Chain A
Amino acid sequence: MTYVEYKQLNPFQRFAHNFKKFIVSIPNALARFFKTIGRGIVNFFKAIGKGFKNYGVTFTKGDWATKLSYLIFGIGDIHKGKYYKGILYFLSEVFYILYMVFFGWTFLSKFDTLGTVKTREVIDPGQIIARKVYGDNSMLILLYSVLSIVITVIIFAIYISNIKDAYRHQIMRANGQKPTSLKTDAKEFLDGKYHVTLLSFPVLMIGIFNVLPLIFMILIAFTSYDKTHLPPGTLFTWVGFDNFSSLFDVVNNSKKATTFLELTKWTLLWAVIATFTNYILGMVVALMINKKGIKFKGLWRTLFVIAIAVPQFVSLLLMNQMLQSNGAINVLLSHLTGSNVEIQWLNSSVFMARATVVIVNLWVGIPYTILSMSGILMNIPEDLYESARIDGASPFKTFTKITLPYMIFVTTPQLITQFVGNINNFNVIYLLTGGGPSTENFYQAGYTDILVTWLFNLTIGSQDYGLAAAIGILVFIVCATLSLIIYNNSKSMKDEEAFS
């Protein structure tokens, strides 16, 4: 379609046209996305191959100290006079060997079975009451195995850098250069290598308390860890994709599969409705507040911002109390209608509960939209409006031709972020309805539960850790795919340096 043809369409046709274009572009975006991932993997293996080549080449060219560094960390550096670094390398090897011999290996050796010695009860001679003798603890075996593997990867990186460093110093000596002193190196960490200094602490923290647990939980999804396999009393073991297949086992009509299907539908429906209602109504309110000629802008905005400022758990717990059958909302309605109103907002019909959640979510979410939209509205270049006015455009026309397109253009990435946020919107569901109205048809879930609250129930309530981890992975895949597509296509990523 040419530009002229496009301009001749009416707004609805234009919308249909754009919508079609968007739908058609999805496969392409997906293809590009997977291509990027594929290229990343290929590059990764290429890098490894190159690494191995360098590893061999360095060995043949190295002198005796460099060659010895392949076995004992840091020898090369010490031989060339770079004492502190060599000693650090050496100590890291000593630490690793001690760790593995006295701690890591006892767990890592059982990684394939996750333990075989069961806990049993023993009656000692002369005693009447049985004594528990604990066997293997699958949980600890898995946890410390993951820790050992991570440490091994780190040590391997140190090992490679030790060899590189040894070879670098060998070449420096051959060229008649002296190794840099500790003082110069320390100074370098405040300038050229400042990123190492700044990142080391956060990366360490994230590594221990985000990455490590994450690897652990991903592995848990492939085990039989649940309430009948609960360490230290009983063992659990690898079960492959059983947890995933039990979620998709629609053929046998199993309870878990039904629950998963129904909750997925509701989660997506919820995310779509919650996102769009918040977005559209929030934009309407923001436009009203920011309209020219409206006074007390600060006051109006503050009224809404208070709803953000009050901690969510306070406002949602309060709402929960107000929506009880004898709560404030029904009292208010009774006063207004003059009759005794006792509406069961949250625990009678499914539709009522879901509608209530969506409406309360409006109350929670619109202020956020207003706040971010107000900022953007103020940023629309004033000269656009001025030239439109000079050309004789009506206020309605300026709105549809300038304000609206600008807002939609700027806020689309936000829309997606909010969509992902709503898929993960734990607080509203959990604090408001607790998942109710409850039902026997679902496995450990109620009608308003979304996937993440179900995940929470499964971990905290029924201790189905394996199943919960599997759900977590599936939710992650959906969210991550969505976010990555948007992120890679967004302008801020492409010209990151536009402002510097």
Chain B
Amino acid sequence: MIKSYKFRRHLANGLIYLLLAVLGIIWISPFVYLVLHSFRAEGLIAVPYLIPHEWTFQNYIDLFTGSGGTASINFPRWFLNTFVVACFSCVISTISVLAVSYTFSRLRFKARKKFMNVGMILGMFPGFMTMIAIYYLLKAMGLTQTLVALVICYSCGAGLGFQISKGFFDTIPRALDEAATIDGATKNQIFWKIILPMSKPIVVYTVLTSFIGPWTDFILAKIIMGDSLDNYTVAIGLQKMLANDFINTYYKQFLAGSVVVALPITILFLKMQKYYVEGVTAGGVKG
């Protein structure tokens, strides 16, 4: 009896291992394909086999030197653009998000509930419904097709994403605040000296998500930048490489570029995975 139970358990586990392995392969194989073919030397777009026949670094070299293509495709420039935008919007967004979450979590004032509800409702409009209006607003300010416009767009709405970090702040015992207040600390000091040092996971999470945002968004960037190729970010740049005029020359460089963009973000994300889970469950379990 015991033996058969053990056998059954082993069988079940074996099946699960098999299933997980198959699923894992399905999930990972597109990326393996991406990496393999970014080193492919022959062919233009699609080839009728899965493993490249000749290997080369040329696609990466072309991508960064701009040789073997038109001057309008300038990947290093796009990379730098995105990096600059990401750094600035990261700083501004992080400050906004943390300030708003701390306020809603810890400070009590008359319009608090109203502010929170309005914030939630604003977050529910389809994001690109306002795109056109934002475009004209930026145009009126003379900012379209500039990187400043992108920084503004990525960081202005950041304050609305306060839910997760507020959920985290809510779990920090309030007794700490009270003790500090009795010792004469102001709310400002409590924020900097007590809450922030205790919220490392959520701070890291906020910093990383807002840093990654500009690398992945492309709708807003596309509308703001239009045809100003010099100010493109990597996302719209890579999509540009797949346009009909370019795809024959640039398909393999697109693959290489995708690897260059995806690799650092993947590593960052795997590093912060722990924080993501902590943040989501801290805010979510109560739900």
Contacts and interface: CB of A to CB of B under 8 A. Distances in A.
A305 B129 contact: no
B157 interface: yes
A314 B217 CA distance: 11
Main secondary structure of the interface of A (DSSP, over half): helix
A10 interface: no
Contact of A465 (B120, B125, B132): B132
Interface in B16-51: 16-17, 19-20, 23-24, 26-28, 30-31, 33-34, 45-50
B277 A217 contact: no
B261 A311 contact: yes
Contacts of B33: 318, 322, 328
Question: Which of B13, B95, B286 neighbours the largest number of chain A CB atoms within 10 Å of its CB?
Answer: B286
B1 to A, nearest CB: 14
Interface stretch (B66-74, B197-205, B263-271): B263-271
Interface residues of B, number: 98
A312 interface: yes
B33 to A, nearest CB: 6
B124 interface: yes
B103 interface: yes
B172 interface: yes
B284 interface: yes
A404 interface: no
B188 A300 contact: no
A13 B28 CA distance: 41
Contacts of B50: 328, 331-332, 335
A305 B269 contact: yes
Interface string A77-104: 0000000000000000000000000000
B96 A213 contact: no
B87 interface: no
A226 B93 CA distance: 35
Nearest to B129: A472
B113 to A, nearest CB: 10
B132 A202 contact: no
B133 A216 contact: yes
B46 A376 contact: no
Interface in A435-463: 452, 455-456, 459-460
Interface stretch (A23-31, A239-247, A253-261, A487-495): A487-495
A355 interface: no
A251 interface: no
Contact of A483 (B13, B124, B152, B283): B124
A426 interface: yes
Contact of A194 (B17, B134, B188, B283): B188
A410 B48 contact: no
A309 interface: yes
Nearest to B267: A309
A305 B160 CA distance: 26
B55 interface: no
B273 interface: yes
A379 B188 contact: no
A285 B27 CA distance: 12
B137 interface: yes
A484 B121 CA distance: 8
Contact of A209 (B23, B28, B153, B266): B153
Interface in B178-223: 186-188, 191, 212, 215-216, 218-219, 223
Contacts of B128: 426, 452, 455-456, 459
B287 interface: yes
Nearest to A476: B125
A273 interface: no
A291 B95 CA distance: 40
Nearest to A420: B124
A214 B122 contact: yes
Interface in B110-126: 112, 115, 119-122, 124-126
Contacts of A192: 187
A499 B170 contact: yes
Contacts of B107: 194-195, 198
Contact of A199 (B115, B157, B191): B115
Interface string B59-86: 0000000000000000000000000000
A414 B284 contact: yes
B122 A206 contact: yes
Contacts, number: 269
Nearest to B115: A199
A214 B19 CA distance: 48
Nearest to A319: B30
A313 B218 contact: yes
B150 interface: no
A311 B265 contact: yes
Question: Which of B27, B129, B215 neighbours the largest number of chain A CB atoms within 10 Å of its CB?
Answer: B129
Contacts of A217: 129-130, 132-133
A348 B146 CA distance: 40
A500 B223 CA distance: 44
B224 interface: no
A206 B49 contact: no
Contacts of A452: 126, 128
B281 A376 contact: yes
B48 A198 contact: no
Contact of A317 (B156, B223, B242): B242
B246 interface: no
B171 interface: yes
B157 A426 contact: no
A213 B17 CA distance: 52
A491 B266 contact: no
A459 B132 contact: yes
A410 B287 contact: yes
Given A198-B103, A217-B132, A331-B50, A492 B286 contact: yes
A430 to B, nearest CB: 8
Question: Which of B20, B173, B235 neighbours the largest number of chain A CB atoms within 10 Å of its CB?
Answer: B20
A339 to B, nearest CB: 13
B120 A483 contact: yes
Interface stretch (A1-9, A14-22, A128-136, A366-374): A366-374
Contacts of B34: 314, 318
A363 B27 contact: yes
B155 interface: yes
Contacts of A372: 277, 280-281, 284
B270 A305 contact: yes
Contacts of A310: 31, 262, 265-266
A227 to B, nearest CB: 13
A173 to B, nearest CB: 26
19 contacts: A192-B187, A197-B188, A198-B191, A199-B100, A199-B103, A213-B130, A288-B19, A303-B27, A311-B265, A314-B261, A326-B45, A334-B48, A375-B280, A413-B287, A420-B124, A424-B127, A480-B124, A491-B287, A492-B167
Give the 3 A-B CB pairs with smallest separation, nearest first: A202-B159, A213-B133, A309-B269
Given A309-B268, A426-B128, A479-B124, 6 more contacts: A194-B191, A214-B130, A288-B20, A363-B26, A372-B277, A455-B126
